[in-house]
């Protein structure tokens, strides 16, 4: 019995700040060796990577369902681990209760929450006799559990149970709110391939708790495929919720749900499990959110609840996107080159999207049906990744040019995340009720963990100086300096420089909850005489709904080559309302000492004196106009 394992002390959570160093550092070069365009098996995750997230610059945390993993901790199999990116080794961790198909996300102070899960189980994933621990797996019921982790760069941090939710949630989604608290949406009580009305939990609640769960109409009306609803906090402060064929804008403060258009072509929620992502929020698109959905499965509700050889049914190639703060309608985008269920969409620092994992037929889920492949409900794993370029012309956005396939099928219960060095960690796959390895098993429990190395991986990385340890919502701009090597020996390369913040998110079930890419506004001064440059970089817009507070990675990209990412804190590092300030205006870009005009630089500064340049600049007026527009647009 382990009844004392559960502490109902939510207040503990807010007491201490997170023990990760957020230092103003100059990033160096990657230490991992790899070949551009290829995967490399780098290590063993020790437990199967059903869920994972980058918690510290050098540490990925892995969460598995309860099963018979050979690695032991505290006298029972381990169901979690920490994968050290420097040594590529994992240490088993104790996550205490059964986090099977849990949700997760990060708070404004850097604390990660892992929430919900399944009842206690024994061999074969069958229900355990005791729900309080004991038995072979010693895994108390996790359906209400609120588990937190304050990540660390060593082995000194662990999961703890900080209390219970008011209701049971298996397959919940978690979204970070503008004050750094969390909203927890949906789920069911007992699990299964799809949901049903006897166990549905069509509500949302908050962490820290704001009381009883709130009923959600879209969750109540989109059975049976309303598990792990697809959600994004929008710059308007509303939350986009997509479930089965329905879409709404949720106002989480009033409970109002405004219906948007029906999702065309396919179901995107689990177990259809499309690849989904909010495209980059940039100054060029005025930080307007567009969400992309690709793949999934074209089935009607009644087709999910009868047993038929779904494993042979082709997945969808359809891509659709929506800009919910602007229009209620979906518009088609370039289809996937290969149909996929269970694709993971992962941001690369250059703003392109890496699409990895998944299967050409079938869906997520597993069972002992005669038609399953082993227990897998999916087949024809897609091994060749493909990349989506949001900047490319329509018809040309997808490409697998220069990419080599993986050799490891990664389907149900696989996951992926961007790493600071710009590689992508890919792990998991386990369409099995329990740990299942050995000869003749088509899709075993997979521990092998790969890194994928994008085209830029072995380029000399920029080593920008002046990266701050936190980014605010408006206020003074800051400067980042680039030297000759960072500019590839050519001052004009500064024209391509951008500064971006990426939240890598909580990866599970083809979702990366909270994943987001925001480009900061920046201008430059380039100096021809000594081939150096200064970037003038704005803080985030004065609106925490553009990027909720909490830790994220900052990258500087020059000539398409990203620096190694530095972990910074977005906001004040605390849970609570965030201060917003006026958005600064930046001096116009200029290359001093150049003989011809370049880019959008002006031509009145042959003396290389930036101050003279500003005072003379015809663009000064434009800057003031920009400032005015900014003030208006953020309602100041
Ligand atoms: C499915 O079969 C496996 C292997 O025989 C077994 O361990 C498991 O308990 C079965 N699951 C169910 C739900 O019957
Ligand atoms: C490069 O030259 C500019 C213009 O003279 C000067 O302001 C800047 O400090 C120089 N940078 C370095 C790193 O020497
Ligand atoms: C750039 O500066 C030179 C020298 O002052 C001047 O002769 C030329 O007209 C300028 N060109 C533009 C496009 O302003
Ligand atoms: C930019 O977005 C804001 C709201 O997010 C809006 O008020 C403003 O009109 C937009 N500006 C432009 C130029 O589209
Ligand atoms: Cu699952």
Encode pLDDT of 181-232 as tens digits: 999 999 999 988 999 999 999 999 999 999 999 999 999 999 999 999 999 9
In ligand 3, the atom with minimum distance to the C-alpha of 603 is: 1
Cβ-contact 207, 115 below 8 angstroms: yes
Whether 603 shows a pLDDT value over 70: the answer reads no
Cβ-contact 567, 85 below 8 angstroms: no
Whether 527 shows a pLDDT value over 70: the answer reads yes
Distance CA 306, CA 290 (A): 35
Q: Please name the residue whose Cα sits nearest to atom 9 of ligand 4.
A: 633
Count the Cβ atoms, other than its own, within 10 Å of residue 332. 12
Distance CA 287, CA 347 (A): 17
Whether 92 shows a pLDDT value over 90: the answer reads yes
126 lines ligand 1 (CB under 6 A): yes
E strands, 476-570, in order:
478-482, 498-503, 506-508, 511-513, 516-520, 522-527, 532-537, 550-558, 561-562, 566-570
* For the CA of 188, the nearest ligand: 5
Strand partners, 250: 239, 257
Distance 367 CA to ligand 1 centre (A): 8
Task: Please give the average per-residue pLDDT across 305-324, as a whole number.
Answer: 97
235 lines ligand 4 (CB under 6 A): yes
**DSSP reduced 3-state for 469:** coil
Cα separation values, 329 from 172, 232, 262, 464, Å: 26, 16, 8, 41
498 — phi, psi (to 5°)? -145, 155
Distance 628 CA to ligand 3 centre (A): 30
In ligand 2, the atom with minimum distance to the C-alpha of 483 is: 13
pLDDT tens readout for residues 9-25: 333 333 344 444 454 67
pLDDT band at residue 171 using 50, 70 and 90 as cut-offs? very high
Q: Please name the residue whose Cα sits nearest to atom 4 of ligand 1.
A: 124
How much is the pLDDT for 24? 60
Q: Please name the residue whose Cα sits nearest to atom 1 of ligand 1.
A: 368
How much is the pLDDT for 22? 52
Whether 2 shows a pLDDT value over 70: the answer reads no
The residues spanned by each domain of the chain are: 2-26+461-626, 38-453
Beta pairing class for 580-583 and 473-475: parallel
Count the Cβ atoms, other than its own, within 10 Å of residue 78. 23
Token look-up 């230490």 returns 31
Distance 241 CA to ligand 4 centre (A): 23
pTM above 0.85, yes or no: yes
Report the chain's mean pLDDT, rounded to a whole number. 92
Task: Please give the average per-residue pLDDT across 397-418, as a whole number.
Answer: 98
pLDDT tens readout for residues 529-544: 999 999 999 999 999 9
625: enclosing H helix or E strand: helix 620-633
Whether 309 shows a pLDDT value over 50: the answer reads yes
CATH number assigned to the domain covering 2-26+461-626: 2.60.40.10
Percent of the chain surpassing pLDDT 70: 89
Task: Please give the average per-residue pLDDT across 397-419, as a whole number.
Answer: 98
Substitution candidate for ligand 4 out of 178, 286, 290, 540 with most atoms within 8 A of CB: 286
> Which of 268-272, 324-328, 600-604 shows the lowest mean pLDDT across its residues?
600-604
How much is the pLDDT for 120? 95
Task: Please give the average per-residue pLDDT across 482-504, as a whole number.
Answer: 98
Q: Which residues contact 220 (CB under 8 A, 6 or more apart)?
A: 200, 202
> Which residue has better confidence, 432 or 601?
432
How much is the pLDDT for 607? 46
Task: Please give the average per-residue pLDDT across 278-282, as a whole number.
Answer: 98
The binding-site residues of ligand 3, defined as CB within 6 angstroms of any ligand atom, are: 597, 603
pLDDT band at residue 597 using 50, 70 and 90 as cut-offs? very low
Distance 495 CA to ligand 3 centre (A): 20
Whether 599 shows a pLDDT value over 50: the answer reads no
* For the CA of 508, the nearest ligand: 5
Whether 631 shows a pLDDT value over 90: the answer reads no
Percent of the chain surpassing pLDDT 90: 89
Substitution candidate for ligand 1 out of 368, 435, 436, 444 with most atoms within 8 A of CB: 368
How much is the pLDDT for 25? 79
Cβ-contact 228, 246 below 8 angstroms: no
Distance 146 CA to ligand 5 centre (A): 18
Distance CA 181, CA 369 (A): 41
Class of the CATH domain delimited by 38-453:
mainly beta
In ligand 4, the atom with minimum distance to the C-alpha of 635 is: 7
Substitution candidate for ligand 2 out of 530, 531, 533, 593 with most atoms within 8 A of CB: 530
Distance CA 133, CA 82 (A): 23
479 — phi, psi (to 5°)? -115, 140
466 lines ligand 2 (CB under 6 A): no
* For the CA of 50, the nearest ligand: 5
Q: Please name the residue whose Cα sits nearest to atom 3 of ligand 4.
A: 633
pLDDT tens readout for residues 412-424: 999 999 999 999 9
Q: Which residues contact 200 (CB under 8 A, 6 or more apart)?
A: 188, 219, 220, 223, 226
């Amino acid at each position: 019995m382990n009844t004392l394992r559960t502490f109902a002390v939510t207040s503990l959570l807010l007491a201490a700040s997170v023990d990760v160093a957020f230092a103003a550092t100059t990033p160096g070069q990657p230490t991992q060796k790899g070949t551009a365009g290829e995967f490399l098996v780098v290590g063993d995750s020790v437990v199967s990577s059903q869920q994972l997230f980058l918690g510290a610059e050098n540490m990925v945390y892995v969460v598995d369902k309860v099963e018979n993993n050979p690695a032991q901790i505290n006298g029972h199999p381990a169901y979690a681990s920490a994968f050290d990116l420097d040594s590529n080794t994992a240490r088993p961790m104790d996550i205490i209760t059964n986090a099977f198909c849990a949700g997760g996300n990060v708070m404004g102070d850097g604390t990660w929450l892992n929430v919900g899960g399944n009842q206690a189980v024994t061999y074969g994933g069958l229900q355990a006799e005791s729900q309080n621990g004991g038995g072979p797996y010693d895994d108390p019921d996790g359906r209400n559990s609120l588990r937190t982790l304050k990540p660390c760069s060593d082995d000194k941090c662990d999961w703890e149970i900080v209390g219970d939710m008011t209701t049971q949630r298996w397959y919940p989604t978690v979204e970070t709110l503008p004050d750094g608290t969390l909203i927890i949406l949906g789920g069911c009580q007992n699990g299964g391939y799809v949901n049903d009305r006897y166990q549905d939990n069509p509500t949302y609640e908050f962490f820290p708790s704001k009381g009883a769960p709130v009923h959600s109409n879209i969750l109540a009306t989109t059975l049976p495929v309303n598990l792990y609803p697809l959600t994004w906090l929008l710059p308007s402060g509303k939350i986009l919720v997509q479930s089965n064929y329905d879409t709404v804008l949720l106002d989480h403060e009033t409970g109002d749900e405004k219906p948007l258009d029906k999702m065309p072509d396919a179901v995107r929620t689990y177990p259809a499990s499309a690849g989904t992502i909010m495209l980059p929020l940039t100054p060029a698109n005025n930080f307007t959110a567009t969400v992309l959905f690709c793949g999934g499965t074209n089935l009607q509700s009644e087709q999910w609840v009868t047993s038929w050889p779904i494993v042979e049914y082709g997945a969808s190639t359809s891509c659709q996107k929506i800009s919910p703060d602007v229009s209620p309608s979906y518009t088609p985008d370039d289809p996937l080159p290969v149909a996929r269920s269970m694709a993971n969409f992962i941001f690369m620092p250059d703003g392109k999207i890496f699409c990895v994992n998944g299967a050409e037929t079938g869906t997520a889920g597993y069972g002992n049906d005669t038609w399953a492949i082993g227990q897998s409900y999916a087949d024809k794993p897609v091994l060749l990744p493909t990349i989506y370029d949001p900047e490319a012309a329509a018809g040309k956005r997808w490409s697998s040019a220069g990419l080599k396939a993986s050799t490891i099928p990664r389907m149900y219960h696989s996951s992926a995340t961007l790493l600071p060095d710009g590689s992508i960690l890919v792990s998991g796959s386990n369409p099995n009720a329990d740990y299942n390895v050995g000869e003749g098993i088509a899709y075993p429990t997979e521990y092998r963990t790969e890194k994928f190395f994008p085209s830029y991986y072995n380029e000399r990385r920029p080593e920008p100086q002046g990266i701050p340890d936190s980014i605010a919502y408006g206020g003074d701009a800051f400067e980042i300096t680039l030297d000759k090597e960072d500019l590839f020996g050519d001052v004009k390369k500064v024209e391509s420089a951008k500064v971006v913040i990426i939240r890598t998110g909580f990866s599970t079930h083809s979702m990366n909850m909270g994943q987001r890419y925001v480009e900061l506004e920046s201008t430059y001064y380039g100096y021809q005489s000594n081939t150096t440059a200064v970037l003038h970089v704005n803080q985030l817009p004065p609106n925490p709904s553009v990027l909720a507070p909490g830790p994220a990675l900052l990258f500087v990209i020059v000539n398409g080559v990203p620096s190694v990412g530095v972990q910074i804190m977005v906001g004040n590092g605390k849970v609570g309302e965030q201060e917003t300030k006026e958005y600064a205006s930046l001096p116009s870009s200029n290359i001093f000492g150049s003989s011809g005009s370049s880019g959008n630089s002006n031509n009145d500064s042959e003396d290389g004196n930036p101050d003279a340049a500003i005072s003379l600049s015809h663009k000064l007026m434009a800057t003031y106009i920009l400032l005015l527009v900014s003030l208006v647009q953020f309602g100041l």
